[in-house]
Structure 1
C-alpha cells in the first residue's frame, strides 16, 4: 500500500516543530554514506540551483524628473544599458516604465550588462539614467533603489534541470555565451552548467510538486512559479518565475561575463514536500546518476560523449584560495581581465562576488590561485582524452546557501508550504 500525506499534515508538523527538514546537500550526503532516512523520516527537502539564467528580465517604474518636463520616454539607458520603455507610456508624469533584459549590454562596454546593473541597484548604488523622449528632449539624472516605485523580476527560463558541458574540438578558439572567454580549440578545456543533484527539477520528476502557483525563493525573495518556461520540454524542463526585485539579496544575483558579453546569474530554491513514496524515491537520485552530455561548443547540439555530475563536482573545490605572495602585480592582470563576476581587482579577491567558476586558477600566470576544478575522461572521435574543467557557469555554494535559508525560513514559519 502506498503511503500518502497532505501539505496540511506537513504544515501541521512544521507548526508543532516536529517536521524533519533537510537541505538537498544534507540529504544527498546521508544517501551517499548509505544511510538514507526512510520515507517516514523525511517531510521536506529544500533544493537549490544557481547559474547563468539568460531569461531574466525586470519590470521597473521610477521617477526621472518632475511632472510635465517630457511627454513620454522613447529610449531609456541605465548606466548605458538599454531598457525598453513601456508598456505604460506614463505621459507627462516624469516617471517611466521599462523592461530591462538581464542580457542587454551597455552601449559603452559590452562586458557590462543587465546582470551587473541589477546587482548594483540592490547594493544601493547610484545609477545614471538617460531618457530620450518622444518630444526630442534628453533628460539625465541619477537614481537609487529608493527612487524605484516598483520592480519585479520575471524569469522566462529559470532553474532549468541541469544542462550541458561544452568543449572545442575545432582548431580555432570559439567565442560563446557558454564560456567566460573564447574557448581554445583542440579539446584544451571544458565548461559546464548545472548544480547536479541539488537542482529542484532534477529532484521532482516529473513535476509532482513544482507546479504553477508553487512558492519559491528567487535570489532570497519569496516568489512564485508562473508555469513552464520558454523552450521547456519534458526532457529539458525549466520554469517561469517571478518575485519582487527590491526584496532580493544582491549576493544571489549578478552579472557574468562571457565570450559574447555580459550575462546574468540567479539563485533559486524550491521546497519539495515529501507527500508520497514516488516523490521520496525521486529525491534519492545522486550526482553519479545524472547524465551530462558533452557537446561541441560550435555546434551546441552535436553530442561528443557523456559524463555525469559526480565527475564535475565530487572532491572539487567550490572556491579558490588566493596567495598574494605569488602575485607578481603584472602590468596586465589576466585574472582581473577575465574574472566573470569582477571578483578580483587590484590584487584583492572579493569572495562575496566570487562565483567559484575556476577561471582564476586555470589562467593566472603565476599560480596565485589554488583551486581544484577537476578534469574529465572522455572518448571523442574514438580517442581517449582527459580535459580540464576550466569554467563553471553554475555555483553550488550559492545554491546550498539559499537552500539552507529556505530550510530555516520554513522552520521559523516565515515560509509556508
Structure 2
C-alpha cells in the first residue's frame, strides 16, 4: 500500500521539505545495521557512468549557404561519419543527420563519436565536410550554438546486469570490452557497472523508472523513452533522450578500446518512495549483486561469478601520479593506452576515467592505484585475476547522483507522475 503519491512528493519538493538520499547513503545505512523507513524518505537518487555503446546523436547543422548544394550524400563531423536524412533538406544549406558514438574518424583511428560529442557539448568549433549528391564538396565549421538541434538518444543505457571479461586462452584478444588487446591466460579482468549505485539495480522491476520517467543524461534533464534494445525482464536497460545543449561535458566522452573508439556517458534517476516495497529494493548491497565472469570471446561463455564488493570495495577510484618515478620512456605505454587521453606528460584529472590502465601499463611505478585482485570459482578451481580495466566510473556516477539529489532539494527537479 502506498504511503504517499507523486503529487505529495512534488509538493514537498517545491516547499523545500523533501527528504532525499542517494542509493549509496541508503546502502550505507543498511550496512550499519539500520533499516530506513519509507515514511522517512521521499526520494532515492541512483546513477551510473560507463561505456554505453548504443549512444547516438541527432543533429540539424548548417553546412553551407542556402542554395549552395541540393542535398547531402555524405557528411563528416571532425572526420566522423554522419548519416544524413531522413529529411532531404533540399537547397537549404543545412543537413539533418545521425552520428553514432562508436563511429570512427576517417582521419584519426583514435577519435570517434564519443570524443566528437564531448567536443560539441564543450562548445568547440566542429569541422564539417559535406559531399553533395552532385559531387560538390562543401567545407565549413559550426558549433552547438549554431545547430538547430543537438539531441542525444541512447538506445540501451544503464543496464541492470553487466558481465566481467577475461581471456582464458594463450592468444591476445581485441575487444570493445578492454582498452587494449587482452592477454591471457587469466592475466587480467575488465568489468562494467556501478553496483549498488546503479539505477535499475535499485528498481529491478522498473516500478518507478519506466516510460516517461525524467532522468539526468550527462547532466541534462531527459526522459526515458522506454526499454532499450536487447532489454529483457531479467536484464533490463533503458532508451533515453536529452538535449545536448544542457549537458555537462564532464559526464560524457570518448573511450578508446582495442576494437575501436567507444562512448561513455552518465545517467541518474530519482526513485520516488511511494511504499515500503520500493524502498526495500534500494537496500541492495554490492556483496549481494552477482557479476558473471565470461570469456572475452563471447559473453555467453560464463566461466564463473564474483560480486561488486570484490571489484569496488577498498579499491582506489583514481590513480596517483608520481612524476619523479617517470623515466620518460621513448614510447610511453600510458600515453598510448589511456582510453580517454588523460595522460599527456601530466595527468589530466578532469579527463581521467579511473579505468586503471595507467597503473596496469606503467612498469616503473609512476602510477599507483589499488585496483583489486579477483578470486572466483571456475569449475572446482579458485582463480586469482588482477583487475586491469574498469569500463565504468564510480566517481562520475556518484557526482551525477549527488547533482540530482541537490536539484531535487533545491526544487529544480520534480518527479514524473507516470505511476
TM-score normalised per structure 1: 0.98
* Secondary structure of the structure 2 residue equivalent to 1:129: strand
Cα distance in 2, alignment partners of residues 4 and 135 from structure 1: 65
Extract structure 1 runs of 4+ deviating beyond 4 A.
Answer: none
SS at match of 1:58: strand
Residue 375 (structure 1) aligned to one of 359, 373, 376: 373
Aligned match of 1:205: 204
* Partners of 1:210 and 1:381 in 2: CA distance: 37
Contact preservation (8 Å) 1:162, 1:196: no
SS state at 2:222 partner: strand
The aligned runs of 1:123-272 (5 Å cut-off) are: 123-272=122-271
Give the Å deviation of 1:106: 0.9
Distance in 2 separating the partners of 1:383 and 1:298: 21
SS at match of 1:349: coil
1:287 & 1:162 partners in 2: Cα distance?
A: 13
- 2:190 & 2:107 partners in 1: Cα distance? 28
Gaps in structure 2 of 5+ consecutive residues: none
Per the alignment, residue 289 of structure 1 pairs with: 288
Contact 1:162-1:199 at 8 Å conserved across structures: no
| Alpha-carbon offset, residue 299 of structure 1 | 2.2
Whole-angstrom CA distance in 2 between matches of 1:205 and 1:75: 42
Q: CA-to-partner distance for each residue in 1:315-342, whole Å, 9 max, x for gaps? A: 1111111111111111111001000000
Matches of 2:35 and 2:364, distance apart in 1:
44
Deviation of 1:381 (Å): 4.5
- Report the alpha carbon displacement of residue 208 of structure 1 after superposing the two structures with TM: 0.7
The match for 1:354 is 352
Aligned to 1:410: 408
Q: Secondary structure at the match of 1:223?
A: strand
**Is contact 1:162–1:195 with CA below 8 Å preserved after alignment?**
no
Aligned pair count reads 415
Quote the Cα distance in structure 1 between the aligned partners of 2:377 and 2:30.
Answer: 30
1:394 aligned partner: 392
Q: Distance in 2 between matches of 1:371 and 1:398?
A: 17
Q: Retained in 2: the 8 A contact 1:161–1:236? A: yes
Aligned mates of 1:165, 1:82 — CA distance in 2: 31
Q: Distance in 2 between matches of 1:341 and 1:110?
A: 14
Q: Which runs of no fewer than 5 residues in structure 1 stay unpaired?
A: none
1:171-225 Cα deviation digits (max 9, x unpaired):
1110000000001011000000111010111100201101110000000000000
Deviation (angstroms), 1:4: 2.5
Query: Within 1, Cα distance between the matches of 2:204 and 2:136?
Result: 53
- Once residues 351 and 151 of structure 2 are traced to their aligned partners in structure 1, the CA distance between those partners, rounded to angstroms, is 23
Give a deviation string over 1:131-176, Cα, whole Å, max 9, x none: 0001110011122222212111111011111300001001111000
For 2:277, what is the secondary structure of its paired residue? helix
Distance 1:269 1:260 in 2: 28
Q: Does 1:31 align with 2:30?
A: yes
Instruction: Answer yes or no: is the 8 Å Cα contact 2:161–2:236 preserved in 1.
Output: no
Q: Which segment drifts farther, 135-144 or 94-103? A: 135-144
Query: Aligned pair 1:15/2:14, yes or no?
Result: yes
Map 1:1-12 → 2, pairs under 5 A: 2-12=1-11
